[in-house]
Structure 1
Amino acid sequence: MKYVILIHSNPDPWGHPTQRFTAEGRELPDAEHERMDQAFEALMNEIVASGEFVTAEALGDPAASTVFGWTPEKHVVTDGPYAEAKEQLAGFFIIDVATRERAVEIADHFTQPGGTVELRPVMWPGGDDQ
């Protein structure tokens, strides 16, 4: 079963890892960031070794995006960001796991100061919408 882990955040300035650029993340001591970085690296090593990791990408600043819309008359092209919200999509990970419970277990490790994590099934062959 494939799932996407969507990382929503509001870093200022935009940067990765986003936890270091959010107001909440800047309040943490360097030792806590180091601990979180080591835990993340351990998780990545685990899911790569198990074959559960498919791919991941960090995304650039939403202000640099181009938004394409549709009307019956023409396509509408505007500067981003798409959402007029504080939190924007900062990146994603695709995992391939045996159960939803395992996906939840992995996604829980992606929580971070100043961010929100969304776990969603991938809808392509082999994906499920449960």
Structure 2
Amino acid sequence: MKYLCLAYYNPEKFAAMAPADVQALVSQCPAKDAELKKTGRMVVSASLDGPQAAFALRPIGGKTVVTDGPYAEAKEMVGGFFIIEAADREEAVRVASLHPAATLGESVGWAIELHPIGFFEMDRTRGT
């Protein structure tokens, strides 16, 4: 089974950090990411631009309307996502716990939310 893992953070807490503290935190991520990739269970991983770059499509009056972000008020924002493969919930927790957001960044609200994926299809014609 595949799991969508949403990596959250608190933008206000992150913005309040001193640049040196941000660097110290972020510099620990590549080693953690490498650990996760070594499991062979990672399908895809990506970080997202800040919430100000987000936009939403909504059906309004029979037409698709674009709304600029951030389009949801929240204390936590999705900063990235990854998809893993795991045999069951326990394995998904074990694999996802290798991601930096599961072990670092408590002070900036890092967290991971896991969603089992019911249907998954990749467009292999794109080559990206």
TM over 0.5: yes
Distance 1:43 1:101, change over 3 A: farther
Q: Which runs of 4+ in 1 moved over 6 A?
A: none
Structure 1 unaligned blocks of 5 or more: 13-18
Match of 1:60 in 2: 49
What is the total number of aligned residue pairs between the two structures? 112
1:3 CA drift (Å): 0.8
Match of 1:9 in 2: 9
Question: Structure 1 length normalisation: TM-score?
Answer: 0.67
Match of 1:94 in 2: 83
Letter in structure 1 aligned against 2:88: T
Letter in structure 1 aligned against 2:89: R
**Is the 2:44–2:84 Cα contact (8 Å) retained in structure 1?**
yes
Task: Give the Cα separation in 2 of the matches to 1:43 and 1:102.
Answer: 17
Deviation string 1:94-117 (CA, Å, 9 cap, x unpaired) is 111222101112333432322232
Match of 1:73 in 2: 62
SS at match of 1:44: helix
Task: Give the Cα separation in 2 of the matches to 1:106 and 1:22.
Answer: 29
Distance 1:49 1:108, change over 3 A: closer
* Match among 112, 115, 120 for residue 117 of structure 1: 112
**Is the 2:57–2:67 Cα contact (8 Å) retained in structure 1?**
yes
Structure 2 unaligned blocks of 5 or more: 122-128
What is the RMSD computed on CA atoms of the aligned residues?
Answer: 2.8
Distance 1:4 1:65, change over 3 A: same
In the TM superposition, 1:20-59 aligns within 5 A as: 21=14, 23=16, 26=17, 33=24, 37-38=27-28, 40-59=29-48
Question: Structure 2 length normalisation: TM-score?
Answer: 0.68
Deviation string 1:24-69 (CA, Å, 9 cap, x unpaired) is xx38x85xx46x854x544433432332011111000111222211
Letter in structure 1 aligned against 2:81: F
